Amino acid sequence: MIASPAAVTTTGEVTLPARSYRFHGLAVDVACDVPVAAVAIDASFGAFALDPRPGRPAERQVSLTRSDGTYRLTDASGRVAFARTEQAAVVGLFDRVVRAVVDGLADRGILAIHAGAVVLRGQALLLAGPSGAGKSTLTMALMRNGASWLTDELAVIDRDGRTVLPFPRSLHVRPDTVTLLPELAPVLTRPRYDLGGGSEFSLTPADALVALGSHVAGPTPLGGVVLLHGTPGAGRTPHLAPVGVAVAAMELAHGAPAAAEDLDATLARLIPIVAGVRRVRLTVGDPGATAHALDDWLAAP
Amino acid sequence: MQPGVSLQRAGDEAILHDRVGGQAHVINATAAHVWELADGQTIDELATALATAYDQPIERVDPDVRRIVARFGELGVLTLEP
């Protein structure tokens, strides 16, 4: 989904067409005169595209402009940085959009954590782990097995500390993921984007419905925290082991941008959240077997 | 205790956050109890307090207390005074 050019936004002396996105009430304008960057941002955040409303003041605004072969990036706080290559500019703009979203949601009391999240058996499951641990792959494997989708990247927990909100940024699919999940083969014909995680395809909510038979879930009570270990691999047997509150809170905090500002405050929020739900460390194996193992774990009394 | 170190209980464990050192450590309930009692206490006083709290003979508690205090020293969150 490509958003229509929205309100005109002024950045310094340059006036650019802006695209607008809304994330749980937070409006973020992205002003960009570099077409490949605008397309890449839309490929990721098209599900949040906002109808243009000229004259509406921007809540958060980031921009990318090109002049004399140099790329100028401005974040939501007005800080300016420069990129020398178009690719660096694309990644820089994407990072600034994500930061604007995370900070804006934090101002609303919503906690963002780099983690996947799905709804299984009526409960939201957070899938946390370092980059490369297979958050997106497991998210999609669970979706293929009947889970509905909250996010594969940024889990957002509402201010009540219990409800996980949907954040259906397009799924970023690495080419090798298609080997593990053949249902994704049609995305191989799509353009690829490198938004800092290597060359990936974008899978929109509409694509996910077609390819994986899964839809975007609504706000759902948190039921479990899954700490990922290892990497997905065909034929490997998954293993689950219980994990304590402190370890779960610490590992979620590692993925929470707010922790970089105030770890104590972030832990104070996370500890009661994880204390009230099931927790497990999952050594990831074959995606299908791992999805079944998690379903069994959640079904157990 | 070093300044800038805070403790948060989390279920049966706790998190010790050393803001100055930029480290956070998950510790068990006994270690958390030692930490909460440690300020200004001798190791013998700590062992006595723990033995009372857990209703255990001091001989049984003392080695654990010494090991925990030594570990806090290694982590740089506690300074032992002679």
> DSSP letters along A172-200, please?
EE-TTHHHH-GGGGGGGGS-EEESSSSEE
Closest CA to A18 of A70, A53, A68, A67: A53
Pick the residue of A251, A252, A267, A279 with the most B CBs within 10 A to test the interface with B by mutation: A267
Closest CA to A111 of A227, A215, A245, A261: A261
Closest CA to A108 of A149, A72, A159, A65: A159
In the beta sheet, which residues pair with residue A19? Answer: A30
Amino acid identity for residue A242 in this structure = P
Find the length of chain A.
301
Interface contact B14-A250, CB threshold 8 A: no
Residue among A253, A268, A275 whose CB faces B11 most closely? A275
**Above 70 in pLDDT, residue A1?**
no
**Above 60 in pLDDT, residue A10?**
no
Residue among B8, B26, B27 whose CB faces A264 most closely? B8
Q: Are A185 and A61 in contact (CB under 8 A)?
A: no
Which residues of B make CB contacts under 8 Å with A?
Answer: 6, 8-15, 17, 19, 24, 26-27
What distance in Å separates the CA atoms of residue A138 and residue A153, rounded to the nearest whole number? 12
Please give the structure tokens belonging to residue B71: 């570990």
Closest CA to B45 of B57, B58, B32: B58
What is the DSSP secondary-structure string of A233-301? -TTPPPEEEE--HHHHHHHHHHT-HHHHH-HHHHHHHHHHHHHTSEEEEEE--SHHHHHHHHHHHHH--
pTM (global) more than 0.90: no
Between chain A and chain B, the number of residue pairs with CB atoms below 8 A apart is 44
**Above 90 in pLDDT, residue B2?**
no
Distance to chain B for A260, nearest Cα, Å: 10
What distance in Å separates the CA atoms of residue A166 and residue A154, rounded to the nearest whole number? 9
pLDDT tens for residues A88-119? 999 999 999 999 999 999 999 999 999 999 99
How many other C-beta atoms lie within 10 A of the C-beta of residue B20?
A: 11
pLDDT tens for residues A33-65? 999 999 999 989 999 998 766 666 678 999 999
pLDDT band at B1 (very low <50, low <70, confident <90, very high): low
What distance in Å separates the CA atoms of residue A35 and residue A39, rounded to the nearest whole number? 6
For residue A261, the chain B residue with the least C-alpha distance is: B19
Residue among A249, A263, A264 whose CB faces B10 most closely? A249
